[in-house]
Amino acid sequence: MSKLAIPETVAEMQELMADPKKVGQIIQDGQFAELVSKYSKATDERGNMAELVKQAVEAGMAGQNAIEDKVNATVKETFATLLKEHGVNRPALAPPSEPGSGADANAAYNPLAPGVAMNDVGFANLGDFARTIWHRNPRPDEEKMTRARKVMDAYSSVDPAAGGFLIPETMRSDVMKIALESSIVRQRATVITMSSLTQLMPYVDSTTNVGSVFGGMIFYWTAEGATLAANEAKFGRLKLEANKLTGLARVPNELWADAPALSSFLMQAVPKGLGFYEDVAFISGSGVGEPLGFLNSGALIAQAKETDQPADTICVENVLNMYSRMLPSSLGNAVWIANQSCFKELMSLAIQVGVGGAPVSLVDIRNAPLASMLGRPLIISEKVPTLGDQGDLCFVDLSYYLIGDRQAVSLETSEHVRFENDETALRVIERVDGRPWVQSAFTPLNGATVSPIVAIAARA
């Protein structure tokens, strides 16, 4: 088919443009650029055609960017929803390090956390962030404050109970990285990123291997052509709810003028405070308005004391019995957690070897302070009950403990509470939940019940 002749007059061009078939042929023949050029020359009598084309292109690009932004937001939201529905733990990926910097990636960083929107505001460090949002700042950076308020307002529309300014994700992840290093439970638990204030997690309702496995599945040997017995596994749902952990501090107003000093204070106080009170709740929390601690779990096995065992003591039999009640598949993950008041008792534990043999100590302190007992790490902590109370010595596989983390930490200041002392009250809010994944002890095919959560009973 021969190429169409490009009209010279405006009227002929308009007639041509009204015919879709001819326009299609011109595009197919590669004549569209020539048509546009001739149309521009024929109609640009006032010399403003170039400007009109420029405006049209800019408008088109703006519309395309808006569409791309909307598509990206929709994809991100859909992705988060799918992960939540399927109970998938989103990876905590770190931002790439600068080439040649030698910096380690921050494993606590999550590119999908709410605070990521604050990263680009331009805060130098946590002290600079706190000083910028300080209500008494005489020279606030209005551009930063405006951008920070937009992020805060957007997050508040998702979480109506949110208060204060979201800490940028780069800084929040640094805080949590430090908290991980001093925590007991979080660094060993299974952490679930919560994209909303509640999260449902599935679990297999398995309590026994006698007659069935995995909560109801049965396996048996059958002859060819024999009738098969039907059965199915039972599943349950565990609900995580983002409880609010609030931290308060009184900061002298002089410290707010020095961003590096303020940052140093916050990077010590905030991570240690969060890590400490998280651990206390994850270990012994009631589950009402706070996480459910593993010592209050229905899966806890409280190993009874020995007959006539004196009060406030720990004997070899206690430790060996606790070890034997641990879920066998968890023996490679479980850790001992003991109150410091138990240390003397633990160091006195020994197994006598024959009549003339020397006793063998259960606790190995050759790699102190990383002590071990029966080959598993021994952690000394004030966060478990004192000697003689139930749970003063625990043997726990913390991978069976679920932590639901909203991964959003907010910070706010107020002058009213400590006005007369020339101090500013600083409030930090984190939303988190935790509870054991298993709901009850487990009856094996042979032997006594076992569990990934074992503690010694009270010896009063």
Q: Where are the domains of the chain?
A: 1-35, 108-460
User: Is the confidence at residue 279, as pLDDT, over 90?
Assistant: yes
- Determine if the peptide bond prior to 369 is cis (ω within 30°): yes
CA 67 from chain centre, in angstroms, equals 31
3-class DSSP assignment, residue 309? coil
CA–CA separation, 31 vs 136, rounded Å?
66
As a whole number, mean pLDDT of residues 178-183 equals 74
Counting residues of the chain whose pLDDT is more than 90, the rounded percentage is 26
Q: What is the dihedral of CA 178, 141, 164, 149, to 10 degrees?
A: -120
As a whole number, mean pLDDT of residues 156-172 equals 58
pLDDT band at 134 (very low <50, low <70, confident <90, very high): low
Q: What is the dihedral of CA 434, 374, 385, 433, to 10 degrees?
A: 0
CA 397 from chain centre, in angstroms, equals 19
pLDDT band at 425 (very low <50, low <70, confident <90, very high): confident
Q: Which of 251, 91, 286 is nearest to 294 (CA)?
A: 286
User: Is the confidence at residue 63, as pLDDT, over 60?
Assistant: no
Q: Which of 347, 310, 455, 317 is nearest to 393 (CA)?
A: 455
As a whole number, mean pLDDT of residues 252-275 equals 78
User: Is the confidence at residue 157, as pLDDT, over 70?
Assistant: no
pLDDT computed for residue 266 by the predictor: 78
| Cα-based angle 416, 421, 424 (whole degrees, multiple of 5) | 50
In DSSP terms, 456 is beta-bridged to: 303
Q: Measured in Å, how far apart are the chain's first and last C-alpha atoms? A: 102
Range of 87-96, 171-180, 302-311 with top mean pLDDT: 302-311
User: Is the confidence at residue 287, as pLDDT, over 80?
Assistant: yes
pLDDT computed for residue 55 by the predictor: 53
> Do the beta carbons of residue 439 and residue 193 sit within 8 Å?
no
As a whole number, mean pLDDT of residues 387-392 equals 97
pLDDT computed for residue 345 by the predictor: 94
pLDDT band at 436 (very low <50, low <70, confident <90, very high): very high
pLDDT computed for residue 194 by the predictor: 82
pLDDT computed for residue 445 by the predictor: 82
As a whole number, mean pLDDT of residues 156-166 equals 54
User: Is the confidence at residue 43, as pLDDT, over 90?
Assistant: no
User: Is the confidence at residue 11, as pLDDT, over 70?
Assistant: yes
> Do the beta carbons of residue 406 and residue 347 sit within 8 Å?
no
Range of 142-151, 194-203, 332-341 with top mean pLDDT: 332-341
Q: Of 103-117, 172-186, 200-214, 250-264, which range is least confident?
A: 103-117
Q: Which amino acid is at 38?
A: K
CA–CA separation, 380 vs 368, rounded Å?
11
How much of the chain is helix, strand and coil, in % rounded to 5? 40, 20, 40
pLDDT band at 309 (very low <50, low <70, confident <90, very high): very high
CA–CA separation, 142 vs 170, rounded Å?
22
pTM over 0.85: no
